[in-house]
Structure 1
């Protein structure tokens, strides 16, 4: 009876492990809502409770263990490896990251703004492509995320090109000019709370921080989705917009980026 009980427990544990590590991740790969629920709610909370650490802290440790200090490409590779093989995270990801790279390279911005730093992955992608003298301001509401992002950015050797600013985007946008001497931005990357995309872009317009030719690039416009923002930039006479279809970071679920050029 004892052996049967032990075998039953071992079988149950094996089945649970297979569900956790393989079956459920494989199933949610193709459904963005399920992928976000599984990875960004259930798994993250379980691992936080089990390890006594946070996902950003675990991501930072992966960077410190795998990436070469001062080598931004190795930092990007380390985060992508962590997210694909250890623990999913809500970065722009490698697939959409190549689209981000191409747009930043095309614009070659002297002044860039990022709304939503998280752990600094997209910050590193943008900053490494800035021209000489280029500067990136990135706004992050969560101070714990900002603390990790600063370390990731420093590990990539890009701290002199990046200013991480803590606080709500709606509070900071009206004061960016006076605090940082910015007349307008050449490039804006939106990757924070999706319901803030539209009000923050309107606020940037009102504050005169967009010039004719400023390029906006918005992530996750399909998943989780930003329908009001898309309707605005696609129907407004002030923008010329183009959609780049892709996938939700590190999954096969549909997602994309919207590139919008401000026409003034």
Structure 2
């Protein structure tokens, strides 16, 4: 009888822990920025890394290889969105803000694009799939492990010819864009890397003459985790005309948004 009681207790405890992990806590953190980032980006990631002996980017790549059609960029985007909504959160721009990104790319119709922060290549694929023929997308990624995964995701989408992925720090690479990469100015810049680099990298692009009159900067996560110094700069500077697109942190209900800033010269 004691063993049966113990078995029931263990089973009930395990069921409660699973319910907390799978449904209750994720539902609660959907509406709280700090808790959402700690839960998804620290606790859950570490648990899954230990259990699966893999990394989150590797698991995202696996979802792409299992569920996306080779050579179909939009199926790659859908596969990642489905995985991140239903299995494991990740710091992609996400499906909701991704639609805003799509609309800006389509509106600008850029010939030259700079992306700061590749991660697993989600937004890279999203942008490149909308570019006109012969357009050039350069994406910078500091983390070599992320870059390895991103290259495979980009290849699965069939977009290697449109994308040049460069490993290294943005502060080191931005000054080399003209001489090393043959770019005079960028029509569109998507900022989605370290948040404390948004402002210094924007100023660096100005100093290097990489922005022309009409160049568009689109910055992600300006509310969560937040980029207050960058927002103050682009909103107060007479050199920019800015517009905020309210949305939500990827795959949650936490407020976040994108800031679109047109360089006026």
TM-score w.r.t. length of structure 1: 0.99
Deviation digits for residues 66-117 of structure 1, max 9, x if unmatched?
0000000100000000001111100000000000000000000000000000
Q: Which runs of 5+ in 1 are unaligned?
A: none
Separation (CA, whole Å) in 2 of partners of 1:181 and 1:116: 20
CA distance in 1, matches of 2:26, 2:75: 26
Structure 2 residue aligned with 1:49: 50
Cα displacement (A) at 1:198: 0.1
Q: Deviations over 1:2-58 (max 9, x none)?
A: 000010000110000000000000000011111111000110011111111000000
Distance in 2 separating the partners of 1:48 and 1:61: 14
Name 2:140's counterpart in structure 1. Answer: 139
CA shift for structure 1 position 125: 0.6
Please say if 1:258 is aligned against 2:259.
Answer: yes
SS at structure 2 position matched to 1:160: coil
Distance 2:256 2:241 in 1: 20
1:243 corresponds to which residue?
Answer: 244
Equivalent in the alignment of 2:73: 72
Is the partner of 1:246 in helix, strand or coil?
A: strand
Structure 1 match to 2:172: 171
Q: Which runs of 5+ in 2 are unaligned?
A: none
- Kindly report the root-mean-square deviation, in angstroms, between the aligned alpha carbons of the 2 structures: 0.4
In the alignment, what sits opposite 2:158?
157
**Aligned counterparts of 1:32 and 1:79: Cα–Cα separation in 2:** 22
Alignment-derived partner of residue 192 in structure 2: 191
State the 4+ residue runs in structure 1 displaced beyond 3 angstroms: none
CA distance in 2, matches of 1:147, 1:135: 20
The alpha carbon displacement at 1:176 in A equals: 1.2
Which residue is 2:110 aligned to? 109
| Equivalent residue number for residue 81 of structure 1 | 82
TM-score (norm 2): 0.99
Aligned residues: 264
CA distance in 2, matches of 1:247, 1:214: 25
Q: 2: CA distance between counterparts of 1:28 and 1:46? A: 17
- Displacement of 1:179 after TM fit? 1.1
